[in-house]
Amino acid sequence: MIWNAFAIAVREIGRNPTRAFLTVLGIFIGVAAIITMVTLGQGATIAVKAQISSLGSNLLTLRPGAGFGSRSASAGVPNFTEKDADCLGEQIASIAAIAPVRTASLSTIYLHNARSSTVTGTTPIYFQISKWNLADGRFFNEADLRSGSAVCVIGNTVRKELFDTGNPIGEKIRIGRASCEVIGLLATKGQAGMGDQDDTIIVPLSALQRRMIGKTSSHDISQISISAHDGTDSIALIAEITTLMRQRRNLQSNQDNNFNIFDTRQIAETLGSTTQLMTMLLAAVAGVSLLVGGIGIMNIMLVSVTERTREIGIRLAIGATAREVLLQFLVEAVTLSCVGGLVGILLAIALCASLARIISVPFNFNLQINLIAFLFSAAVGVIFGYTPARGAARLNPIDALRHE
């Protein structure tokens, strides 16, 4: 009986290819949309998380100015001194490492290649705080810092632009006024939402001050990078730093902070939940497209319900039982839904793989969402394909035949 119903169902599908095609199309679009959106959304979440953990997980950054969004307030606000960094490191126990940072945009030249690069002058501990690894060569050390040696460590983007495919280690490049030996190449961190992290040159702070720009004032530190011991309560740490810095910068109790502290963990959490929200939003959009697909299927079914009701009447009249007719309709609906679902999954995989490459997020096949999308759309197809038949099969054959 099942086999019979299957044979009849397949024949019935072939008899009306347009109807079959439109049904499959409705399901297929819904499935492809929901899988693509959720998979890409999850890829983006993973990419953002990876980027943030490459910044350092319990990294605090101290900057002058009142903080985000009040850039004007940072005009005229004094920078930090090296002493500020030393003092914080000595007096606050939960600080694991601290590095003063001075940045400058300087022209860099190697043979005929020239570009403007952001040069970071800092202390050796900075590499550890910012989680930099070496691809080649070495970091500069305390001795280099003390003597102010003209050495530098470069990021991969700088290497590509100045040296093309050549080996930079041991080569001399001109940075600002000084000629500087490349001693290390940084392992690449990749493109972040916040710009190319590999477009960087790191030099000893003393070399930047003395050789490349010349020390202008003792307040020349534009940023202090701090890493905390594992398990530190970052809220308490921020409070401690704030108290100390207010004191060092002679702020009265009625004055606002003229510095701000940027906590990567907080940012990580915010960004993480934002991308999660994005993923959910995309899933909702995809869900709507699935619903629209379902309504499309329902339309097709409603348009053909007169013809199909007559068909049911004819089958009943010549001796089919209601159960056999319903089985046939069920098989039809399941077959079309499954074909639509499978084609949708294949298209989604192809789409995700190519789109993921274009927007450079990782592509992971997510079995769960594929299953959910498939089952949901199959349910939509079966419900809309099967329900009209149920009503018709309950009628007296003559009433089904008279249906208008």
Partner 1 sequence: MNAISQFPLLEVRRLTKTYGIGDAAFQALKGINLTIQRGEFVAIMGPSGSGKSTLMNVLGCLDTPTSGSYIYEGIEVETLTSEERSLLRRYALGFIFQGFNLLARTSAQENVELPLLYRGISRKVRHEKAFAALTSVGLPTKFASTPGELSGGQQQRVAIARAIVTEPSTLFADEPTGNLDSVTTREVMEILTRLNVDRGITVLMVTHDDEVAASARRKIVIKDGIIESDTKPSV
Binds partner 1 by CB under 8 A, chosen from 203, 320, 361, 373: 320
Per-residue binder mask for partner 1 (CB under 8 A), 181-220, x = binder: ----------------------------------------
Please say which residue, 355 or 401, places its beta carbon nearer to partner 1: 401
Binding mask 382-401 for partner 1 (x = CB under 8 A): ------------x-xxxx-x
Buried-state track 252-270, b at ≥16 Cβ within 10 A, e below 16: eeeeebbbbbbbbbeebee
Q: Which is nearer to partner 1, 90 or 307 (CB)?
A: 307
Contacts 24+ apart (CB under 8 A), 228-231: 228/58, 228/60, 228/94, 228/95, 228/96, 229/94, 229/95, 229/96, 230/58
Q: Which residue among 111, 295, 317, 375 contacts partner 1 (CB under 8 A)?
A: 317
306 binds partner 1 (CB under 8 A): no
If the CB atoms of residues 212 and 393 are measured against partner 1, the closer one turns out to be 393
Tell me the window of 85-93, 140-148, 280-288, 319-327 that interacts with partner 1 (CB under 8 A): 319-327
Give the nearest distance from C-beta 37 to partner 1 in angstroms. Answer: 38
**231 vs 319, which CB is nearer to partner 1?**
319
Query: Distance between CA atoms of 240 and 234, rounded to whole angstroms?
Result: 10
Alpha helices in 197-263 (DSSP H): 205-207, 234-248
User: d(Cα 109, Cα 131) in Å, to the nearest integer?
Assistant: 27
Rounded to the nearest whole angstrom, what is the least distance from the CB of residue 301 to partner 1 in the complex? 17
How many residues interact with partner 1 (rule CB under 8 A)? 26
Cβ–Cβ < 8 Å for 243, 48: no
Under rule CB under 8 A, residue 15 binds partner 1: yes
Q: At what angle do helices 234-248 and 82-91 cross, to 10 degrees?
A: 130
Smallest distance, partner 1 to C-beta of residue 1, A: 8
Token output for 54: 């490459």
Binding residue for partner 1, selected from 31, 324, 384, 388, defined by CB under 8 A: 324
End-to-end CA distance of the chain: 30
One of 138, 177, 229, 323 touching partner 1 (CB under 8 A): 323
Q: Check binding of 314 to partner 1 (CB under 8 A).
A: yes
Report, in angstroms and rounded to the nearest whole number, the Rg of the chain calculated over CA atoms. Answer: 33
Q: Which one, of 197, 92, 195, 183, lies nearest residue 139 by Cα?
A: 183
- Is 322 near partner 1 (CB under 8 A)? yes
- How many of the other CB atoms lie within 10 Å of CB of 78? 12
**205 or 316: CB nearest partner 1:** 316
Residues 101 and 221 sit within 8 Å (Cβ to Cβ)? yes
Q: Can you tell me the distance from the alpha carbon of 182 to that of 232, in angstroms, rounded to the nearest whole number? A: 36
Q: Is 311 in the site for partner 1 (CB under 8 A)?
A: yes
By CB under 8 A, residue 147 contacts partner 1:
no
Contact region for partner 1 (CB under 8 A) — 140-148, 159-167, 180-188, 307-315? 307-315
Identify which of residues 236 and 317 has a Cβ nearer to partner 1 in the complex: 317
In angstroms, rounded to a whole number, what is the distance separating the alpha carbons of residues 383 and 291?
13
**Interface residue list for partner 1 (CB under 8 A):** 4, 8, 11, 15-16, 307, 310-311, 313-324, 394, 396-399, 401
